[in-house]
Structure 1
Amino acid sequence: MHVTVDIKGEGTHEFDLEEVADGTDGRPTYAALLRAVDLSPHEVSVLVDGRPVPEDQPVESEHVTVLRLIKGGCVD
């Protein structure tokens, strides 16, 4: 299956799932897609059809949206 990863504000990446590292059951996970675009699950949210998906879930969609999380706080 061919997957498009849209990193909001940064562009898109195209992957054939056969090229992405396999998940635990032999199918690539969303975390494997994140590794392929050099991102950590700790710094982003993965969305499919506008809804968050766990990064350990096998990829089942041809279009994935990635949103970077913003951390902030007060500087003393």
Structure 2
Amino acid sequence: MNVTVEVVGEGSHEFDVDDETYADLVSKVDLSPHEVSVMVDGRPVPEDQPVEAEHVKILRLIKGG
């Protein structure tokens, strides 16, 4: 399945996903699961859940500056 991953405020990425979790998607965009929330249809999803959505938003909770 082709999945679009939008890192809010930072851009989008496309991945071909097969039997992966939302945590795997977070890793693919070089982020830590400890610093983000994964959202599907405006709702947070557990990062250990298998990817079932074609569009995922990743919201960074911590950003250095």
Greater per-residue strand proportion: 2
Shift of 1:70: 3.4
Root-mean-square deviation (Å): 1.2
Q: Normalising by structure 2, what TM-score?
A: 0.92
| Aligned-partner Cα distance in 1 for 2:62–2:52 | 27
Secondary structure of the residue aligned to 1:31 is: helix
Q: Normalising by structure 1, what TM-score?
A: 0.79
Bigger Cα Rg: 1
| Aligned-partner Cα distance in 1 for 2:16–2:52 | 13
Specify every segment of 5 or more residues in structure 2 that has no aligned partner in the other structure, as ranges.
none
Specify every segment of 5 or more residues in structure 1 that has no aligned partner in the other structure, as ranges.
19-26, 72-76
Query: What are the within-5 Å matches in structure 2 for residues 1-76 of structure 1?
Result: 1-18=1-18, 27-70=19-62
Secondary structure of the residue aligned to 2:15 is: strand
Task: Among all aligned residue pairs of Structure 1 and Structure 2, give the percentage whose two residues are the same amino acid.
Answer: 73
| 1:21 equivalent in structure 2 | none
The one-letter amino acid of 1:44's match is V
Shift of 1:42: 0.3
